[in-house]
Chains A and B, each alone.
Chain A
Amino acid sequence: MSAAQGGLSQVAATAARLETIAARLLTWGTRVALLLILVGVIDMAVTGVVPMAAATFPPYSLVAIPGQLAALRPEGFIWAGLTLLVALPLGRVTVSGAGFLAAGDRRLALVSVLVLLVICASVVAALGLEG
């Protein structure tokens, strides 16, 4: 086996390991997120919340979610589930990026960081537009 082939097979082995870790993260994260949303939907039915019945809906606020959960409000469970859901792909990129870095693949680690920076730019842009 040449040095180049050896390098590529090492890359493939690292990728396979990372794919397994990312798969576990997505599997369990999706389950928990959907469970939270399901509890929120059941809570909607129990408390008589009708979608689109009111002109407005509870606004999203990350800091308000723990309070809404403590009060067993349906929007609290749904917001918590949606927040986790949106965070999952970011978690997958973070785990992969860390794995690439640990394997010495700086180029792909950098790409992972750039992907996360684009998401950060989305957050900043959204907050900027809101302001």
Chain B
Amino acid sequence: MITGLVLLVGGAAAGVFGSLLGLGGGVLIVPLLTLGFGLPLRESVSVSLVSVIVTSSAGASVYLKKHVANLRLGMVLELFSASGALVGGLVAFLLSEQVLAGLFAALLLWVAVSMLRRSGRSEAPAPAAAAAADDRDPPGEPTFTDTLAGPGYRVRRLPLGMAGSALAGLVSALLGVGGGIIKVPAMHLAMGVPLRVATATSNMMIGITATSSAVIYLLRGQIDPFVAGPTAIGVFAGATLGSRIAHRVDTRILRLLFVAVLLYTAFEMAQRALGL
């Protein structure tokens, strides 16, 4: 009973923080289950993937209703993220727990550094989008890439976005995260998609990415329903709460606190990887 409640509260905390800081819950859930409850890393990854699908489906429904997410672009990119996740889901069973812990420590470090760099920086227009405004093609038959554009922006460097999506899928399946930390910069910085649209489209894509590997974990009997159930409910409740209080919270201090937590968790994971 107590364990179930702790899982629920832990999932809720991950959901609130993830929602306030624009991260999926996976970055927090895997360390919570592995370091906090002693669950094997692979099982933690599988539970995290379920939570990632919950937040993606709930978030994507809102983004799609408001027409913020780009369904066409997302569909093309998720073919590559799903393929990456398929490979990752299979490779995950070949890697030792120590290697996975090492990879997770590296991911946490990367997220912490990204958050520090983002801290205090205001949202700038996508560099490629700004260039696109002065780079109009003469009118003619629209290309396939043209049909992926949205209101006020065009899509550029599609192959780069495809490669980024495949990498995001691989990382997602190996480490149980959504992969938005790779997809959003790939779409925003490389492809010229506005940040808001990139975030919404990434959120929608994450559902398919996580499903590709979650299916493998599910059918291989790696998902514990009694852990996944309370955690998923907690994450959903936390993410819902987070989205409602986001405008009232000063995320600058929260971000710095979160970076400290990430660095500490990375250290713990690195120790586990080294067998210390």
What are the residues of chain B within 8 A of A114 when measuring CB–CB?
79
Interface residue tally for chain A (C-beta within 8 Å):
68
Contacts of A102 in B (CB 8 A): none
Residues of A within 8 A of B253 (CB): none
Are B218 and A86 touching (Cβ within 8 A)?
yes
Residues of B within 8 A of A51 (CB): 3-4, 7, 224, 226-227, 230
**Is A98 interfacial (CB-CB < 8 Å)?**
no
Interface pair B236/A50, CB less than 8 Å apart: no
Interface residues of A in 50-64 (CB under 8 A from B): 50-53, 57-60
Q: Which residue from B57, B72, B215 sits with its C-beta under 8 Å from A30?
A: B57
Query: CB distance A121 to B1 under 8 Å?
Result: no
Residues of B within 8 A of A49 (CB): 4, 226
**Which single residue of chain A is at the shortest CB-CB distance from B219?**
A126
The answer to whether B139 touches A122, judged by C-beta atoms less than 8 angstroms apart, is no
- Cα-based distance from A111 to B165 in the complex (angstroms): 15
Are B215 and A48 in touch, CB under 8 angstroms?
no
Q: How many B residues have CB within 8 A of the partner chain? A: 68
Contact between B61 and A86, CB atoms less than 8 A apart:
no
Whether a CB of chain A sits under 8 angstroms from the CB of B134 is no
With CB as the reference atom, state the residue of chain A lying closest to B151: A12
Q: Chain A CB within 10 Å — which of B60, B144, B210 has the most? A: B60
Cβ-neighbour of A123 out of B8, B215, B236 (below 8 A): B215
Which one of A8, A19, A24, A85 lies within 8 Å of B54 (CB-CB)? A85
The answer, yes or no, to whether B53 is at the interface (CB within 8 Å) is yes
Q: Number of A-B pairs whose CB atoms are under 8 Å?
A: 206
Check A88/B53 contact, CB under 8 A, given A11-B147, A119-B212: yes
Given known A-B contacts A18-B71, A118-B86, A125-B86, A44 and B207 have beta carbons under 8 A apart:
no
Please give the distance in Å from A66's CB to the nearest CB on chain B. Answer: 16
Interface string of B187-221 (1 = CB under 8 A from A): 00000000000000000100110111111101111
Of residues 1 to 59 in A, which have CB atoms within 8 Å of B's CB atoms? 2, 4-5, 7-8, 11-12, 15-16, 18-20, 22-24, 26-27, 29-30, 33-34, 37-38, 40-41, 44-45, 48-53, 57-59
Chain A min CB distance to B228 (Å):
6
Closest Cβ of chain A to B224, distance in Å, is 4
A82 touches B (CB below 8 Å) = yes
Select which of B50, B82, B90, B139 is within 8 A of A115 by beta carbon. Answer: B82
Q: Can you list 5 A-B pairs with a CB-CB distance of less than 8 A?
A: A2-B139, A4-B142, A19-B71, A26-B58, A38-B233
Chain B residues in contact with chain A, CB under 8 A?
1, 3-4, 7-8, 37, 39, 50, 53-54, 56-58, 60-62, 64-65, 67, 69-72, 75-76, 78-79, 82-83, 85-86, 89-90, 93, 139-142, 144, 146-147, 149, 151, 204, 207-208, 210-216, 218-221, 223-230, 232-233, 236
Q: Which 6 A-B pairs have the closest CB atoms?
A: A89-B207, A26-B61, A23-B64, A126-B219, A23-B65, A78-B225
